[in-house]
Amino acid sequence: MAEEFKMSDGFLDINKIQDIKAKVIAGEVIGLSKAKLDLRELCEVIPMPKLLGTRYIATSLSANENVKVLEEADIDSHDYTKVDFDLAYKGKNVVHVAIPDESEMQADFSVIRLHTQDAAAALAKVENKQIVEALNDATHSVTGSSWSGANDPSDDIMQAIAEISDSDQLFSPDTLLMHPLVWAKLSSNEEIKKYIARDTVAKTGKLPQVCGLNVVSHPAMAYFTTNSYTDTAIVFDSKAPALCLGDGPVKVKKYYNNTKFYTGIAVAKWIQPKLLLDDAVRYITGVS
């Protein structure tokens, strides 16, 4: 029977190959994958151990102004949007760790470590991909200009910020997400270089904030299909939250393949990313 396994940062800690248990392997897969879940931090993460959940989002708030002494204030008018999560319907992400009999007999820890690292990377890649795919539901765009030429990207970015901020929901954009190919154009743009120390970019491979936004460059943006990912940058308010991640349990199943002679450990993880507040997002087109 599959076992439920709680998230852990644990690493493989064994003296003999025979001591490896499914839970230990699963713990390392999850622990290693967490370090690669770069886009998870851009979401509001909601634990959903039962695979179902509901998130209520305030879409309209009002307050009474200048209430006098001994006067009664009216009840505030709050409007909420209900967002349902169904992780079972969405499906689970599954990776396998295979331990060949040869590795077990030779106590080859490096092979097991390699398989574990590969499984962790695959699990993280799928989650990052699915978070970007949720952004494909965004409907508001800003037409930008090429960041490869003499144009100033700040003009496009500030326009996106202005449109998001022009709302009674008090959004405050904090993130600029793009593919590394777009990041290369942004970081080499002559107007942007005026405000950035080149040695900082050369040493770290990262840009500091641009227009007050945290710059996130990630290859998973290749899964943004609403517009060409090499021609797009996305501005959004991660604290609104624009994105939410239903975070389900982890299940582990150990099995043996009789014809290929290896012990397999399957690790399943349930998640469901969603775009919650479309008004908190603007994708900028035409930046190539």
pLDDT at 62 (0 to 100): 67
List, as one string, the DSSP characters of the chain.
Answer: --EE----------SSGGG--HHHHHHHHHHHHHTT-TTGGGSEEEE-TTSEEEEEEEEE-----SPPTTPPPPPP--EEEEEEEEHHHH-EEEEEEEEEHHHHHHT-HHHHHHHHHHHHHHHHHHHHHHHHHHGGG---EEE---SSSS--HHHHHHHHHHHHHSSTT-----EEEE-HHHHHHHHH-HHHHTTS-HHHHHHHS----BTTBEEEE-GGGGG--SS-GGGEEEEE-TTTTSEEEEEEEEEEEEEEETTTTEEEEEEEEEEEEEE--GGGEEEEE---
Q: What is the pLDDT of residue 182?
A: 97
Cβ atoms of 265 and 97 closer than 8 Å: yes
Q: pTM of this prediction?
A: 0.84
Tens of pLDDT, residue by residue, the chain (288 residues): 444 444 333 333 333 333 355 667 777 787 788 878 889 999 999 999 999 999 887 766 667 777 888 787 776 656 777 889 999 999 999 988 888 887 766 655 666 677 788 888 999 999 999 999 999 999 999 999 999 988 999 999 999 999 999 877 789 999 999 999 999 999 999 999 888 776 677 777 788 899 999 999 999 999 999 999 999 999 999 999 999 999 998 888 888 889 988 888 888 899 999 999 999 999 999 999
**Sequence ranges of the domains in the chain:** 3-59+78-134+245-273, 139-242+278-285
**Domain 139-242+278-285: assigned CATH number:** 3.30.2320.10
Q: Give the total residue count for the chain.
A: 288
* pLDDT score for 67: 81
Structure confidence at residue 106 (pLDDT): 66
**pLDDT of the residue at 206:** 81
Each as own residue / partner, the long-range contacts of residues 79-83 (CB below 8 Å, 24 or more positions apart, any chain) are: 80/56, 81/56, 81/57, 82/54, 82/55, 82/56, 82/57, 83/54, 83/55, 83/56, 83/57, 83/244, 83/274, 83/276
